[in-house]
């Protein structure tokens, strides 16, 4: 694995979206590696939320509640932090919400990216930037083979399309400005992320667990849809590895798009996840198909991660079965009022030793 823990000690990192599910895990991990993490984000979108449950705020060098659509505030804060590395995760991340509010989705995911990169353009401290997009940024042809980084951008729904736009913005800024400024800029496209501490609305694992805890039948929209499922620590390790390579690189070898997904045999249908997780939680066969009208969602999606494996020495460490075990372990500990920061740190440590 390409990640070198000692690299992060003392590094100034500007992390947008640090109050979200993935952002909270990443902020905790970076902090444990000795990085000075400057968080910039809206308040956590759910209650409960991982950011509060594991107490991320006291671990940060600075914590700013702000919107990436607010260029003046964002740019000012970035300059103040003198950050060397930017990891941009702030987004409107839900497909179904993008149908309900496409304006918010596009303004956050497209103009938010523009504002981050424009702030970087006027910064004298930044050396490396990783823009987090999604596996859904590709023009989905519903074909059986996995998408590679050179496939065309697209997206049927506003969320997926906005992330394709974010990729195009990233490419334009790299080619127009950052090559001459010697700022290394990459984008990271991860699969469907699952893990402990996700209470997001309209997401598979939180919906399953909420139904189990409320002793209700889990309703599943698309049980046959195949996705590149992966534990949250998998793509986060990829982001860290990529950021490190960008920072150290004297050229533009690592700039561009990167896929971080599971091994091919872990791209499973939704029904597989539901069966395993309900069984792990002692609630077998506690689900049924939701027959209400459905909005369009991709049915078949896989990522080819050969580039990351070859050039970054990155590949997934945990199988999907192992990921399900870790999720069940996390929520069982939460129900017992365990120290959840310690649980998260233990899982990070276990992951790194795998």
Is there a contact between 348 and 29 (Cβ–Cβ < 8 Å)?
yes
Question: Would you list the domain boundaries of the chain?
Answer: 12-353
- Phi and psi at residue 343, to the nearest 5°: -60, -45
Spatial neighbors of 98 by CB under 8 A, at least 6 apart, are 92, 105, 157, 158, 159, 160, 162
Full-model pTM: 0.93
Helices (H), the chain: 21-32, 50-53, 71-81, 95-100, 102-106, 112-121, 158-173, 179-181, 204-213, 233-248, 270-280, 306-311, 320-335, 340-353
CATH topology of domain 12-353: Rossmann fold (3.40.50)
Helices vs. strands in the chain: H and E counts, helices first: 14, 12
Tens place of pLDDT for every residue, the chain, 354 residues? 556 679 999 999 999 999 999 999 999 999 999 999 999 999 998 999 999 999 999 999 999 999 999 999 999 999 999 999 999 999 999 888 999 999 999 999 999 999 999 999 999 999 999 999 999 999 888 766 788 999 999 988 999 999 999 999 999 999 999 998 889 999 999 978 999 999 987 777 888 877 777 777 777 777 888 777 899 999 999 999 999 999 999 889 999 999 999 988 887 888 888 888 888 877 666 666 765 655 555 556 788 999 999 999 999 999 999 999 999 999 999 999 999 999 999 999 999 998
């Amino acid at each position: 694995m390409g990640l070198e823990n000692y690299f992060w000690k003392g590094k100034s990192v500007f992390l947008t979206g640090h109050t979200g599910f993935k952002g909270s895990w990443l902020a905790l991990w970076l902090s444990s590696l000795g990085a000075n993490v400057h968080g910039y984000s809206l308040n956590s979108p759910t209650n409960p939320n991982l950011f509060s449950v594991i107490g991320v705020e006291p671990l940060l060098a600075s914590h700013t509640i702000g919107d990436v659509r607010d260029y003046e505030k964002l740019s000012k804060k970035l300059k103040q932090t003198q950050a060397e590395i930017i990891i941009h995760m702030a987004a409107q991340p839900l497909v179904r919400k993008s149908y309900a509010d496409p304006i918010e989705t596009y303004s956050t995911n497209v103009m938010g990216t523009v504002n981050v990169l424009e702030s970087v353009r006027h910064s004298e401290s930044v050396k490396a930037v990783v823009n987090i997009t999604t596996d859904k940024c590709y023009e989905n042809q519903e074909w059986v083979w996995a998408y590679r980084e050179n496939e065309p951008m697209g997206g049927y729904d506003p969320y997926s399309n906005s992330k394709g736009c974010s990729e195009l913005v990233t490419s334009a800024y790299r080619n127009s400005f950052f090559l001459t400024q010697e700022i290394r800029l990459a984008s990271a496209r991860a699969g469907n992320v699952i893990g402990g501490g996700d209470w997001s609305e309209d997401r598979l694992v939180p919906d399953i667990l909420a139904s189990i805890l409320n002793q209700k039948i889990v309703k599943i929209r698309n049980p046959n849809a195949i996705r590149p499922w992966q534990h949250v620590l998998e793509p986060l390790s990829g982001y860290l590895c990529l950021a490190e390579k960008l920072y150290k690189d004297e050229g533009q070898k690592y700039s561009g798009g990167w896929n971080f997904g599971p091994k091919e045999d872990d791209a499973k249908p939704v029904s597989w996840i539901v069966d395993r997780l309900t069984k792990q939680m002692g609630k077998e066969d506690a689900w049924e198909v939701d027959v209400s009208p459905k909005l369009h969602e991709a049915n078949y999606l896989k990522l080819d991660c050969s580039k990351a494996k070859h050039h970054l020495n990155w590949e997934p460490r945990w199988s999907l079965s192992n990921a399900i075990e870790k999720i069940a372990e996390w929520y069982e500990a939460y129900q017992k009022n365990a120290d959840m920061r310690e649980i998260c740190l233990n899982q990070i440590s276990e992951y790194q030793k795998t």
